[in-house]
Amino acid sequence: MLINTVVLFLHNALPIVIIIVLLLLSLKKAYHKRFLKPWLTTLFISILSTFFLVNYSDDIAQLFQGMALELLFSMVFVGVYLLIILYLYQIVFQMNKQRLNYIAMLIFFLVFTVNASAFFIYFTGFWSQTELQLPLLIGTLLGFGICLSIGILLYFILLFFQFKNQQGWTLLLLFLFSCGQLNQAVNLQLQIDFLPSFEALWDSTFLLNEDSELGYFFTALLGYEATPSILHLGIYLTALGIPLFGYFYLKNNKVVMKDRTIK
C-alpha cells in the first residue's frame, strides 16, 4: 500500500507540479502583488472543487451510461489545451498582465482539480480502514517529497535557460504539455467508444516504459505514448501544427496586437 500510494501520487501530482513550474516561469514578468489575492482564491476554489468532485464522482460516473467522467475530463483536457494556446499567444503577441494571470489561474484550476481528484478518490477510498491510514499518509508524504524535488529541479533547469535568454524552452514545454493534454482526451474518448480505435503504429516500451517513473514524467510533460495509433499521432501533430501555423501567419503579416507593452 505504501509503494502503491507513492506511485499513484506521482502519477497524479506530476502534471500539477509541471504546470506550476511552467506557469511560474512564464508568468515572472507578468506577476504583480495585486494578483496574490486572486491566486489564493483560485487555490481555494481548486481545493473545494476537488473535494466536491471526490464526493460526487461515484454518482457522476454513473451518468450517460457510465461515461460521464470520461466526457467531463476529456472536455477539461481540451479546455486546458485551448487555454494554454491562448496563454502562449498572449505572451508572444500581447503581453497583458491581467489577462495572462487570469488565463493562468483557469489553467491551474482545471489541471489541479482533475489530477488531485484522481488521487483523492484513491486516498479517501481507503482512509476508512484504520490499518491503512499510516501507509497512506507516509506514501503521500514520500510522493510529495519526490514531486517537490522534481519540480525544483525542473524549475532551476528552465531558469538556467532563461538566464541565457532562452525563455523559448519554457514556452515550448508548455506548448508540448498542452498537446499532451489533448492526447489524454483522445484516450478517454477511445475508452468510451466515441472515437475509432486503430492498431498501434509502434511500441517504444523497450526505450521508455510508460509504467515507470520516467515514463510518468514524460507522459505528464509531453503526452508520451509508448504505443500510439495513427489517431494519436494525427491529433498530436494537428495540435502542434495549427497553433504554429497561426503563430507564423500572425508574425509574417505583422498582425501584432495594439498593446504589446506590458501593462
Partner 1 sequence: MNNQLFTKIILLLCLGWQNYAWAERPEYVLTIKNHLFYPAHIIIPANTKVKFIVINKDKTPEQFDSFDLNREKVIFAGKKSTIFVGPLSSGKYHFSGEYHPNTARGVVIVKSEANDVN
Binding site for partner 1 (CB under 8 A): 4, 8, 57-58, 61-62, 65-67, 69-70, 118, 121-122, 125-126, 129, 187, 190-194, 196-197, 199, 205, 209-211, 225-227
Q: How far is the CB of 108 from partner 1 (least distance, A)?
A: 23
User: Which residues lie closer than 8 Å to 221 by C-beta, 6 or more apart?
Assistant: 14, 18, 173, 176, 177, 180
CB nearer to partner 1: give 210 or 213.
210
Burial readout 56-92 (b: 16 or more C-beta within 10 A, e: otherwise)? ebeeeeeeeeebbbbbbbbebbbebbebbbbbbbbbe
Q: How far is the CB of 126 from partner 1 (least distance, A)?
A: 6
Burial readout 18-45 (b: 16 or more C-beta within 10 A, e: otherwise)? bbbbbbbbbbeebbeeebeeeeeebeee
Which DSSP letter does residue 261 get? Answer: S
CB nearer to partner 1: give 19 or 67.
67
Q: How far is the CB of 8 from partner 1 (least distance, A)?
A: 7
CB nearer to partner 1: give 163 or 199.
199
Q: How far is the CB of 113 from partner 1 (least distance, A)?
A: 15
CB nearer to partner 1: give 22 or 69.
69
Q: How far is the CB of 72 from partner 1 (least distance, A)?
A: 13
CA Rg value for the chain? 19
CB nearer to partner 1: give 56 or 248.
56
Q: How far is the CB of 129 from partner 1 (least distance, A)?
A: 8
Main-chain phi, psi angles of 225, to 5 degrees: -125, 125
CB nearer to partner 1: give 208 or 250.
208
Q: How far is the CB of 80 from partner 1 (least distance, A)?
A: 18
How far apart, in whole angstroms, are the C-alpha atoms of residue 216 and residue 221?
8
Question: Alpha helix (H) ranges present in the chain?
Answer: 2-26, 36-61, 63-66, 68-93, 97-127, 130-163, 168-191, 213-222, 230-252
CB nearer to partner 1: give 125 or 241.
125
- At residue 56, the 3 state secondary structure works out as helix
> Cell numbers of 250, please?
500572425
